[in-house]
Structure 1
Amino acid sequence: MSTEDRPEVPQTRAEARAAREAAEREAAEAAVPSVPVAPEGEWLRLPAIVQPVSSSTASQAPLNDAHQKAQQQESPQAEPPQAEPSRADPRGSQDDPQPKGSPDRRFLYTILAVVAVLVVVVGALGAVSLFQGPRVSQVQVDTAEAIDVSGSRVILTANQSLQEIDESQVTVDPAVPFTVDAAGRSIGIRFTVPLDDATEYTVRVDGVTGVGGGPASDLSTAFTTPAAKIFLLNRSDEDDSIFRTDLGGENAVPVFTHPRINDYRSTSTRLVVAVEDEDGSRILVMDHDGENVRELTLPGDGYVSSVQVSERGGLVGYTYSDRELTEDTGRASVLVTQSLSGDDEPHIIEVGDAEASVAEWQFVPDSAAVLFIDFASTLSLDDRSGDEGAQNMGIAMRLLGISRGTYTAIVQRADGATVELNLADGSETPLAASEPDFGPATTIAPYPGGTLRHVVSRDENGLPTGQAIIRVDDDGEATSLFDVDSGNAILQACPSPSGQYVAVTVAPNLVENRYDDMLVPLPRTLQTHLIDLRSGEEMVVLTGFDASWCQMAPRF
């Protein structure tokens, strides 16, 4: 009998349960896919994950009705299996549409968000500018130049074009005279006098509005000027030297030495030095540290003195005399000007088509003009920036000083009267006497706010009993600032550019103070007293003379 013909043997309940569990295990194992292993050195490319097959749907051997009925009676009715979510191929399909969270779509959303933020920011800034008014976007100022020369500027640049600015809208603290030049977005404040050193200045422009209207605003800036430094000349039995120092005198540094330094002057960036040797004089131009020395061409072989510089005109001037002089040949004390850069030939000043020999001369501050008195006592003005030549300003015996920023000279006329001469139109007014009156001045040095006057006190016989420097304010109030006893001499008083300080050169103990053998002889021992011009207090005494604040070298 074959096995197919054998009758089915009834199973017990336990046997039916075991058969059922075995069938379920076989179905579950068949539903788990095998994991492929990639060969060494190659990436494994996985196929799409196959949806798992529920054990309830796996193929099983058929059971007879009796067995099925027995199984149903043994266990409660099972819930139908829940289908698992399908898992897409992580690499995607070329035929399928782009998934909702794809990188390209996220990048597009990011760009749109950034653009939206920028639109909001620009709109907000525009609204803020409409409600805030103009603001300062840039400030330009050269603080080092501001303490050395007049005419320096601070420029405020706004973030928009501005309506017209009136000078009454501008204030400067501490107060200094200024002019205003405004156009477009820029407001330029020009200081007509040099500024004090080591001082904080605040510039404010009130009620500024844009050309398109809107609210007004106040523009302001603050800056601090640097501490001042000066140069002094010191002569010795060995080499002469020009040194630079602070106003305390503790950091003196020699910048140039030579066996015989006759004279020198300083600009904001350069030194101009006249030296002597066996063949005559030479003029050297160099940096403040004594580097990059170059020599200027002179009119011939001779000697120079009274060296001066025009910062604004870029010129050096001096009196020149030929080394070989006779009654009929040679030039004596002619006035010469030439460019500081040395790119031109020296030019001799003429009066009436003849080279003029001059007794005194000065550059007019903040210009390229020279004011001089020739040996015929004719006062002349020659603007070297033009071609008009020398203009006759009358007869004068002394040239006492020229004010900064005002184009006004103080001269002594032939009748002995001291007047203030307007060099622009030739008008003049008597120099007001001081209160109290300390007597006639031998020299007058103007500064912003007043003048320094060198006076000599005498006894009833006319003999000198002492000398003093008198400070006279613009309102005429006079104060004795510095004095020396008989036997000492004041050679020169030079205010700093802003009138903050004064350098007074003194020759002490004249009886024992022998003279040098230079072209312009001076006592060998000279001292410079630095004084605070506002308080009158003496700050320090330095060895040397011819402070760089002075327009010319001292004479004795």
Structure 2
Amino acid sequence: MSPTFTDGGRLPDVRRFRRTLTILVTTLLVLCGTFFTLDWFQGPRLSDAQVDTAAVAALPGQQLRLFANEPLADIRADQVTVAPEVPFDVSTSGAVIAIRFTTRLDYSTEYRVTITEAAGVQHTATSTLEHRFTTAAASVYYLDRADPAVGGKDTILRTGIGFGPEAVEKKVVYSADRIQDFTVVGRALVVVTMAADRTGTVTLVSLDDGATEQLRLPPAVQVERLRASPTTGFVGFILTGQDGDPTNALMLVDLGGTHEVTPVAALDGSNLGVLDWMFLPGTSQFTAQTFDQTVLLFDAAAPGVPTPIGTWTELDDVSPDGSALLVKDAFGSIVVSLADGTETRITPSPVDGEIPYSSTPALLPDGHTRVQSVVFLSADLTSSRSFLVVDDGTTGRIVYTPPDAGAIDSFTVSPNGQYAAIAVSPDAGKSTSDGYYPFAKPTNIMTIVVDLATGEQVRSYDGFGTSWP
């Protein structure tokens, strides 16, 4: 007997359901096929990217990591374009592309990375991948000493470099009486203070909570030539007896260890006496010049027999990549390669057709361009003018001119070679000393920060001793 439907039409409802289900399944299959086809022929896509926008401007060798939605065939360097142009190398591992910048990038700059013909390992469809990122703005620490005629504490401040409210803001990070010098190591300040009798103390200051720790020094010593290797956590300085005994003993402190002040040993086991010294950037290695003017190479992380480099009258600077020294002999400045000992003599290039006198230059990251303060004498030799110049080895280009009555005291270049912070006495004839002998500065000293590519002044502040973290 055939079934009878008496409830108003279940059979049509079942048919309608089956038809709807069929349409739905068919539609889903078509969509899946469409998406599969699109995915198959579209090529890889980026799903994420990682880069430390502060570290890429502060340190060479930093990476941009790009994450694709599928494993990739190896990406070659000729498939990658970085704008603005910078040197890099590239590697591929699974779905990750690692682009390593071999030099420091500029601050506050947008970089565009483009990869052409990127292909997955499962199919040959290719695509163009692109990522943009903006590097962090520069920031600096500096010292503003109190005017002795007014009184008060000296202060170490932090401020930004560039334009806008954040760049103009100044933040006091530490205050004390008679601050002689300081440096920044990670999240700590290392501060040298000087008593009225010129004896020194060295204090560690936490930038997180302001906690302090005074290092244990021998009694009645002066502290000079404070230097640090922020990436390795080593700091050092020269200790000299209060009575003027020229021991000039070089001391090291491992801030990642016990904080014990440890003398550097000479070949005979005695404390090493030095005229000057400095770390090679980004390493625990350092150079020191002994009293006989010999320059030696040490490693703070692996004490042992030092390597002699040569003998010169002065040890002036280290290149930003740590590959060369800038020294002086009786005839002028020389760049010395630490790889093979090659010496290249450098002399000031003409500025507007005239050869200037020159102070000690500083090398830029490209290894040959230098920044230097130069002096021009008047025709009657009764007056002079100073300028800051970028010298490419052929010509000198003026990037800063002090006021007519002003003079350049010193300058320091940012680690990436983008900016110079120039300590200036705006009116040298009317300036008075702050009394911190033998480390005195004019009470009216101020710092002008210029962009070395354009000569544009991007910041100014009262004080000196700019430190680039």
The answer to whether structure 1 residue 401 and structure 2 residue 337 are counterparts is: no
Match of 2:272 among 346, 356, 360: 356
SS in 1 for 2:55: helix
Q: What is the alpha-carbon distance in structure 2 between the residues aligned to residue 363 and residue 114 of structure 1?
A: 71
SS in 2 for 1:282: strand
- Find the counterpart in structure 2 of residue 6 from structure 1: none
SS in 2 for 1:443: coil
SS in 1 for 2:443: coil
The answer to whether structure 1 residue 542 and structure 2 residue 457 are counterparts is: no
- Find the counterpart in structure 1 of residue 335 from structure 2: 420
The answer to whether structure 1 residue 319 and structure 2 residue 268 are counterparts is: no
Q: What is the alpha-carbon distance in structure 1 between the residues aligned to residue 120 and residue 214 of structure 2?
A: 52
Task: Tell whether the 8 Å contact from 1:262 to 1:519 is kept in structure 2 after alignment.
Answer: no
Match of 1:191 among 98, 101, 111: 101
TM-superposed CA distance for 1:126, in Å, is: 4.7
SS in 2 for 1:356: coil
TM-superposed CA distance for 1:192, in Å, is: 2.9
Q: Pick closer, same or farther for the CA change 1:213–1:269 going to 2, 3 Å.
A: farther
The answer to whether structure 1 residue 441 and structure 2 residue 355 are counterparts is: no
- Find the counterpart in structure 1 of residue 387 from structure 2: 468
TM-superposed CA distance for 1:200, in Å, is: 0.9
Q: Pick closer, same or farther for the CA change 1:462–1:256 going to 2, 3 Å.
A: same
The answer to whether structure 1 residue 263 and structure 2 residue 263 are counterparts is: no
SS in 1 for 2:428: coil
SS in 2 for 1:274: strand
- Find the counterpart in structure 1 of residue 158 from structure 2: 244
Q: What is the alpha-carbon distance in structure 2 between the residues aligned to residue 113 and residue 273 of structure 1?
A: 77
In structure 1, what residue type is equivalent to 2:239? Answer: Y
Q: What is the alpha-carbon distance in structure 1 between the residues aligned to residue 121 and residue 231 of structure 2?
A: 35
Q: 1:505-550 CA distances to partner (integer Å, 9 max, x unpaired)? A: 1133245412423562223331112223222233444211111239
TM-superposed CA distance for 1:406, in Å, is: 5.7
Q: What is the alpha-carbon distance in structure 1 between the residues aligned to residue 36 and residue 305 of structure 2?
A: 58
Task: Tell whether the 8 Å contact from 1:162 to 1:208 is kept in structure 2 after alignment.
Answer: yes
TM-superposed CA distance for 1:395, in Å, is: 0.4
Q: What is the alpha-carbon distance in structure 2 between the residues aligned to residue 306 and residue 401 of structure 1?
A: 13
- Find the counterpart in structure 1 of residue 412 from structure 2: 494
Q: What is the alpha-carbon distance in structure 1 between the residues aligned to residue 320 and residue 431 of structure 2?
A: 38
Q: TM-score, normalised by structure 1?
A: 0.70
Q: Pick closer, same or farther for the CA change 1:280–1:272 going to 2, 3 Å.
A: closer
Q: Pick closer, same or farther for the CA change 1:326–1:143 going to 2, 3 Å.
A: closer
Q: What is the alpha-carbon distance in structure 1 between the residues aligned to residue 249 and residue 358 of structure 2?
A: 28
Q: Counterparts in 2 of 1:200-239, with a 5 A limit?
A: 200-236=110-146, 237-239=151-153
- Find the counterpart in structure 2 of residue 392 from structure 1: 308
Uncovered stretches (5+) of structure 1, i.e. residues with no partner: 1-83, 89-98, 551-556
In structure 1, what residue type is equivalent to 2:159? Answer: T
TM-superposed CA distance for 1:169, in Å, is: 2.2
Q: 1:217-250 CA distances to partner (integer Å, 9 max, x unpaired)? A: 2222101123322222101121000112233573
Q: Pick closer, same or farther for the CA change 1:513–1:312 going to 2, 3 Å.
A: same
Q: What is the alpha-carbon distance in structure 2 between the residues aligned to residue 212 and residue 333 of structure 1?
A: 66
The answer to whether structure 1 residue 337 and structure 2 residue 277 are counterparts is: no
SS in 1 for 2:448: strand
In structure 1, what residue type is equivalent to 2:446? Answer: Q
In structure 2, what residue type is equivalent to 1:245? Answer: T
Q: Count how many residue pairs are aligned between Structure 1 and Structure 2.
A: 443
TM-superposed CA distance for 1:398, in Å, is: 1.8
SS in 2 for 1:350: coil
In structure 2, what residue type is equivalent to 1:401? Answer: D
SS in 1 for 2:289: strand
Match of 1:283 among 203, 206, 212: 203
Match of 2:371 among 444, 452, 475: 452
Higher relative contact order (CA 8 A, sep 6+): 2
Q: Pick closer, same or farther for the CA change 1:126–1:424 going to 2, 3 Å.
A: farther
TM-superposed CA distance for 1:429, in Å, is: 2.1
- Find the counterpart in structure 2 of residue 94 from structure 1: none
Q: 1:98-134 CA distances to partner (integer Å, 9 max, x unpaired)? A: x9999xxx9xx99x99999888776655544432222
Q: What is the alpha-carbon distance in structure 2 between the residues aligned to residue 119 and residue 422 of structure 1?
A: 67
Q: What is the alpha-carbon distance in structure 2 between the residues aligned to residue 477 and residue 505 of structure 1?
A: 24
Task: Tell whether the 8 Å contact from 1:464 to 1:486 is kept in structure 2 after alignment.
Answer: no
Uncovered stretches (5+) of structure 2, i.e. residues with no partner: none
For the aligned residue pairs, the C-alpha RMSD in angstroms reads 3.5
Q: What is the alpha-carbon distance in structure 1 between the residues aligned to residue 448 and residue 250 of structure 2?
A: 31
Q: Pick closer, same or farther for the CA change 1:494–1:149 going to 2, 3 Å.
A: same
Q: TM-score, normalised by structure 2?
A: 0.82
Q: What is the alpha-carbon distance in structure 1 between the residues aligned to residue 43 and residue 5 of structure 2?
A: 63
Q: Pick closer, same or farther for the CA change 1:317–1:498 going to 2, 3 Å.
A: same
Query: If you compute each CA radius of gyration, which structure gives the higher value, 1 or 2?
Result: 1
- Comparing 305-314 with 339-348, greater Cα deviation is found at 339-348
